[in-house]
Every structure is written in C-alpha cells, then in structure tokens.
Amino acid sequence: MAASRRLATPIAALAAIVLFLLYDPWIVAPDSARPALTVVFWVAAIALLVLLFADRRAPQAQVVEVEGPAFSRYLFSNSRAGLFWLPIRIFVGFEWLMAGWEKVSGHGWTDGGSALLGFWKGAVAIPQTGKPSITFEWYRSFLQILIDNHAQNWFGWLISLGEVAVGLGLLFGALVGIAAFFGATMNMSYMLAGSASTNPVLFALTVGIILAWRVAGYYGVDRFLLPRLGVPWRKGPVTVGTSGEGAAAAT
C-alpha cells in the first residue's frame, strides 16, 4: 500500500508533463513523437487509476483533508435533499425515455441502423472549408472503425434500448447512479461527435445526479433497493437514513 502511494506522485507528474508537451502551443512536440507521447500518457493515466484504487483501503485514505462546503455536503449526502433531485430526475428521465422510444418505435435505428450510419458518416466527414464536426482524431478513428465493421446493425439497438433503460432508471429512482453514469456517457459521446442539441444541459444535470447517487433516488426505488444491495466498496449493505446526516454507511 505504501509503495502504491509512493509511485502515484511520479506517475501523475509524468502524465501531466506528457500532456503539457502534447497540448502546449509554444513547445510543439514533433509529429513523429506525438503517437508515442499519447501512448505514454494513457499508460500513465491508467496506471495512476490502478494505484489510486489500490490505495483506497489505506487508513489515511479515509481522512478528509479538504472539507467541502456544508451546502454541497447536504445536497449530495442528505436524504432530504432527494426532494431537490426528484424534479431533475424526472426531467432528465423523460428526455431519455422519449428519445429512446422514438428510436425503438421509429425507423433507422432498430431496423438496420441507417439513421445511425448517416449520423456517423456526417460526423467523420472532413469539410473542405470550416471546422469538422469531430475535434479529436481518436474519436473519428473510433467511429470509422464502427462504420467499416457495419456496427450500426447492433449499435442502433444498443443506443435505443440504452436510452430507454436510462430514462426508466431515473424516473423510477432505481440504481440512479448507474443510470446517470450511462446517460452521461451517451451525452459525452454525442457531443464528441459534434452534436450539441440538449446534450450539454442533460450532461450537466446528470453529473449532479451521479454525485448525489446515494440520495438522488431516495424518493424512488433506491430508498428500498440500496440498503439491500449494498455497494461494491462496502462489505455490508448501505443504510440511507432520514436524519440530518443521511449518508450511506455500512451496517
């Protein structure tokens, strides 16, 4: 455990330095070195996450070194704050449910994915003038791989049913944190492809729901589900109280 803590700092410093070299506008890395630097960054970033995950059980890891504002602790940890997240859940949930249902019951998504394929092709296209829809080349390469392998046939179903599942999870307050995470992932994917629409607003609201996962579904199924299921990082089930503390705790 101590070794992982000692290694975390230099690995984080390496990742920061490499990222600086990749994006600093004044010190431009040679084009030939950029692929290697990109690989080094991602390897360092993944290694850092692994080390931090291993460090989570250290006694010092439970110490709060920077105390957050009282109101934010209340919003994200008090069960009564579930009343604040309830209308947000309903709004975001209906947005996802309606979007998914239109895809499932309509054309171009679950009947071959022609609409999805058209969206992908428009996103990866590089216009002769102006800026392309996709900023990051790695994401354009990812979509091109999906296009080349005709992934729209099954990806259309994945997106359509995923949107419906996210919407239902948020509306019923069932596993709200997981539903919100996958919703935010889809929002980010759409924005990376150059589609703004309602995605920025939904993404911002969904991040709040993710942070408040312990209490956001308190006025819903999670009120009864979470105490029975527990969470992966607890040995026992969690308890969502109705008192002023209201935070999840091991029983």
Are the CB atoms for 220 and 173 separated by under 8 Å? yes
The strand pairing partners of 208, in sequence order, are: none
Q: What is the mean pLDDT of residues 1-27?
A: 83
- The pLDDT score that the predictor gives to residue 8 is 85
- Helical H runs in the chain? 2-23, 34-54, 70-77, 82-105, 114-124, 137-148, 152-172, 176-192, 199-211, 213-216, 222-229
d(CA 169, CA 3): 40
- The pLDDT score that the predictor gives to residue 95 is 94
Are the CB atoms for 81 and 215 separated by under 8 Å? yes
- The pLDDT score that the predictor gives to residue 159 is 93
Domain boundaries, the chain: 2-62, 88-214
Considering only residues 249 and 26, tell me which one the structure prediction assigns the higher pLDDT.
26
- The pLDDT score that the predictor gives to residue 240 is 52
Residue 5 pLDDT greater than 90, yes or no: no
d(CA 55, CA 8): 9
d(CA 247, CA 19): 37
- The pLDDT score that the predictor gives to residue 27 is 80
- Give the type of residue at 38: T
- Give the type of residue at 235: K
Are the CB atoms for 247 and 241 separated by under 8 Å? yes
- The pLDDT score that the predictor gives to residue 100 is 93
Considering only residues 18 and 27, tell me which one the structure prediction assigns the higher pLDDT.
18
- The pLDDT score that the predictor gives to residue 46 is 94
CA distances 157 to 97, 120, 185, Å, are 14, 15, 16
Token readout for 176 is 């709200």
Q: What is the mean pLDDT of residues 225-232?
A: 75
Cα–Cα–Cα angle for 239, 203, 105, rounded to 5 degrees: 95
- The pLDDT score that the predictor gives to residue 238 is 52
d(CA 38, CA 23): 11
d(CA 81, CA 246): 9
- Convert the pLDDT of each residue in 192-202 to its tens digit: 988 888 899 99
The strand pairing partners of 249, in sequence order, are: 239
- Convert the pLDDT of each residue in 112-136 to its tens digit: 888 999 989 888 888 877 788 888 8
Mean pLDDT across the chain = 84
- 44: exposed, middle or buried (Cβ count in 10 Å: 0-12, 13-18, 19+): buried
Share of the chain above pLDDT 90, in %: 43
Q: How many CB atoms lie within 10 A of CB 13?
A: 12
Residue 190 pLDDT greater than 70, yes or no: yes
Q: What is the mean pLDDT of residues 204-226?
A: 91
Are the CB atoms for 14 and 40 separated by under 8 Å? yes
- The pLDDT score that the predictor gives to residue 127 is 82
Residue 248 pLDDT greater than 60, yes or no: no
Q: Which long-range contacts (CB under 8 A, 24 or more apart) does 198-204 make?
A: 198/95, 202/92, 202/95, 202/96
